[in-house]
Structure 1
Amino acid sequence: MDSGTMRAAVLSGHGQPLRIMDVAIPAPGPGQLLIRLEASGVCHTDVHIWRGSVVPAAAPSPFVLGHEGVGVVAAVGPGVTDWSVGERAGAAWLHDTCGSCAECRDGEESFCQTHRAHGFNVPGTFAEYVVADARFAARLPEGDASMLAPLMCAGLTAYGALQRAELARGETCAIFGCGGLGLYAVELAVRAGARVIAVDSDEAKLAVAAARGAHKTVLATPGLAGGWDADDRAHVCVNFAPTTATWDVMLAAICPRGRIIAAAMVSQPVGLDQEWLTASGVRITGTSVGTRAQMAELMAIHAREPLAGEITRISLDDVTDALSALDRGTAKGRFCVMF
C-alpha cells in the first residue's frame, strides 16, 4: 500500500465475498475528521446490508461496510476547532442527521428519517481510514480498541434500548437473545440495579449471561410462552433476537403496564390483540441504536468500569467469514477487525 491508498473491504455484489482492495484514502471535507482506524466491529446490520435485505437509496462509493470503528484522528477538515490530530475518535452508525426535524430537535436523532449512516449511505469502517462528521464522532476513553469498537453500535444499541424502556432500579428486566447485543444489555441492566432474566435457546450463551450478572437464565423452548413463571413477570422485555419466536413469550412474560422494546431487525409480522393492550396497558415500542448524548454516557460508564466482551479478533481478510458466521447464527460474541 502506498501513502495515498488504504486497504478496504468493498461490497461488489450482495451475498458475494467482500473484495479486499486498495482504494484512495479519503480527504476530510469541511466539518469532518479523517480517522485512522485501529479496529472495527462487525455487526448483524452489516449482514442485512451485505445480503441486500436493506438497500440505500444511493450506494456510497466505494461501498465499504462497517459502522463500529475506533481509532485516532489523522487529519481535520476546514472549520473543525474542537478536535485535534492524535485524539482517539469513534465512527458509529450515525454519520450525520438533518438536525432540523422533530426527532432531531427533541433529542431523538437516531430516529431522524433522513440520517446518513456509515457503511450504508457513506463509506464505512471496514477500511484503514474513515471520514466522520466531527459533530457525530465519539470521544473515546483509554482502553483496548477491540473492546471499544463493538460499543459504537452493539453497546450503544443495548444502552439505548434500556434507556428507551425507562428501566428503573429494582425492576425485573427480561433480555431475549444473548448474542453480543443482549450480553451488553444484561451487564448494563445489572449495573442499573435491575433483576435480570436472560432468555436464549443456546445454553452456552446463557452461561455467559449468568457470568455477566444475570440473576436467572431461561432456556427458550417451543412451550415457553405457556410455561413462563408467574414470579418472573417482567416490567421490561427487550428483544435482541432476530426472530419472531420471542414474541409470544414476551407477551406472556410482561406484567401489566410493562414495556416491550424491539431492538432486533425482524421484518416478519407478529400477532397483537388490541383488546389485550387495553386491559394490560403494556407499551410496545422500538429502539434505534442511540444518540450522541447516550454515546457519551456509555463511554463514561465504560471508562469507570470496562464492559465485558467476548471478542474474536480477525483480520480484514476474514471479514466475509465473520459476516457468514453472523448470518448462520454461529458467532460467539462479537467479531472485531484489527488494523
Structure 2
Amino acid sequence: MRAEPLEIKEVPTPTPGAGQLLVRIEASGLCHTDIHAARGDGPARPTPPFLPGHEGVGIVELVGPGVTEHTTGDRVAIPWLGHACGTCDYCVTGWETPCEAQQNTGCSVDGGHAAFALADARYVVRVPEGIDPAEVAPLTCAGVTTYRAVKVGGVSPGDRVAIFGIGGLGHLAQQYAQIFGGETIAIDVTEEKLALAKRLGAAHVVNAATTDPVAAIEALGGADVAVVLAASPRIIEQAHASLRRGGRLILVSSPKGSTMALPIFQTVLKGIRADFAEVFRLHAAGRTRVMVEPRALDDINSAMEDVLAAGVPAHLLLLP
C-alpha cells in the first residue's frame, strides 16, 4: 500500500535540554533511509509523528545546560547516530555505532528536514571552516559511509575497484577509491551517471543495462574490491561474481527484503563514526567533489519520488 505524503507543518521551535544543542538547519541531504523511515517500509520504523532527515548541517543557535563541546555560532553536522548509552561495551571502547540503546536522527529522534533541530552535543561533528554546508550535508552520511567502505575494503594502489551503482553514494565511493590509489570501474544502468563517473576519473565504465558487468570486469582481470551501493540482491550476486580470487566484497546498501544469497558467505560491515574528521579533511583539501541537486524542503514528496525512481544523478539536498 502506498504511503501517505509527508505533511509540511509549522511546529514550535524546540528548546535544548541538558547536553543538547538547537541547530538552525542550512541544508539537509535526502537519503534512501529517510524515505524508508517516512514510509515505514524499512528495518527502522519510527512512530509518527516525527521529523525525518539524518544529514543535517547548520549553525548552533542555543546551547543547553552542561554543554562544553560546542558554542553558539559553530557550524555542525548532525549524523545518523544521534545518541548512544555511553556505558555498554561498545561505547566504552569508542565504537558507539553498534550500541543497542542508540537513538537515530530522523527516526527515533527528530531529524533535520526542518528549519531547526535538536541534537545531542556529544554526537554532532564540527564542520571545518571554508566548506559549503550544501556539500557537507551528503558527507555526513553518504560520504562517511562510502569512505569507511573503501577503507575497510583495504583498497591500495593498483587495486581494481568496481563501484556498483553511481549516484549519491557511488560518486563519492569512486573518488575515495581513487584517493586510495585504486583503478575504478563504474557500473550503472544510466548513461548520465556513467558520464559523471568518467568526469570524476573512472578508468572504466560499464552500462549494466546493455553489457554483462561480470563478463566486462572479468575481461579486465576481475575486481580486487567490489563496493555495492545498489539494493538489488541480483547486483550483489554480480558484484561477488566479478571478484578475482582473494577479492573483497563490501556491502553498503541494504538488500531489498533484507536478505541476500551468496555462494560462500555473508558479510556485514559496521562502524563509521571515527571517520568523520578524515572525510571532512579530504573535502576541505579539495580532494573530493560532492555533486548535489538542491530542492526546497516544501517539495520533499516529489524529491522522494525522484530518488526512488533513480532520477537524480547525484545527491539530493533539501533547503529550508
TM-score when normalising by structure 2: 0.92
What is the alpha-carbon distance in structure 2 between the residues aligned to residue 149 and residue 289 of structure 1?
Answer: 19
Residue deviations 1:289-309 (CA, integer Å, cap 9, x gap): 721x21111111111116312
Matched residue, 2:134:
146
Quick one: structure 1 residues 257 and 148, their matched pair in 2 at CA, closer, same or farther if it must change by over 3 Å? same
Matched residue, 1:336:
317
Matched residue, 1:19:
7
Describe the SS at the equivalent of 1:111. Answer: coil
Matched residue, 1:317:
298
Matched residue, 1:250:
239
Alignment of 1:26-175 (within 5 A): 26-54=14-42, 56=44, 59=47, 62-141=49-128, 142-175=130-163
Residue deviations 1:147-179 (CA, integer Å, cap 9, x gap): 111111111111121122122232221110001
What is the alpha-carbon distance in structure 2 between the residues aligned to residue 42 and residue 66 of structure 1?
Answer: 7
Matched residue, 1:305:
286
What amino acid maps onto 2:195 in structure 1?
A: A
Matched residue, 1:281:
none
What is the alpha-carbon distance in structure 2 between the residues aligned to residue 168 and residue 327 of structure 1?
Answer: 33
In the alignment, structure 1 residue 240 sits paired with structure 2 residue 232: no
Deviation at 1:47, TM superposition (A): 1.3
Please, which moves more after superposition, 295-304 or 92-101? 92-101
What is the alpha-carbon distance in structure 1 between the residues aligned to residue 225 and residue 99 of structure 2?
Answer: 25
Deviation at 1:67, TM superposition (A): 0.7
Deviation at 1:102, TM superposition (A): 3.7
Matched residue, 1:294:
275
Tell whether the 8 Å contact from 2:187 to 2:213 is kept in structure 1 after alignment: no
Please, which moves more after superposition, 187-196 or 119-128? 187-196
What is the alpha-carbon distance in structure 2 between the residues aligned to residue 57 and residue 228 of structure 1?
Answer: 38
What is the aligned-residue identity percentage? Answer: 36
Matched residue, 1:5:
none
Residue deviations 1:48-88 (CA, integer Å, cap 9, x gap): 1122112656626x400001111111011111112110011
Question: How many equivalent pairs are there?
Answer: 317
In the alignment, structure 1 residue 198 sits paired with structure 2 residue 189: no
TM-score when normalising by structure 1: 0.87
Quick one: structure 1 residues 35 and 193, their matched pair in 2 at CA, closer, same or farther if it must change by over 3 Å? same
Give the superposed CA RMSD. 2.1
Quick one: structure 1 residues 55 and 175, their matched pair in 2 at CA, closer, same or farther if it must change by over 3 Å? closer
Describe the SS at the equivalent of 1:251. Answer: helix
Matched residue, 2:255:
266
What is the alpha-carbon distance in structure 2 between the residues aligned to residue 101 and residue 215 of structure 1?
Answer: 44
Matched residue, 1:8:
none
Gaps of 5+ in 1: 1-12, 278-283
Describe the SS at the equivalent of 2:196. Answer: helix
Tell whether the 8 Å contact from 2:206 to 2:216 is kept in structure 1 after alignment: no
What is the alpha-carbon distance in structure 2 between the residues aligned to residue 53 and residue 16 of structure 1?
Answer: 12
Describe the SS at the equivalent of 2:294. Answer: strand
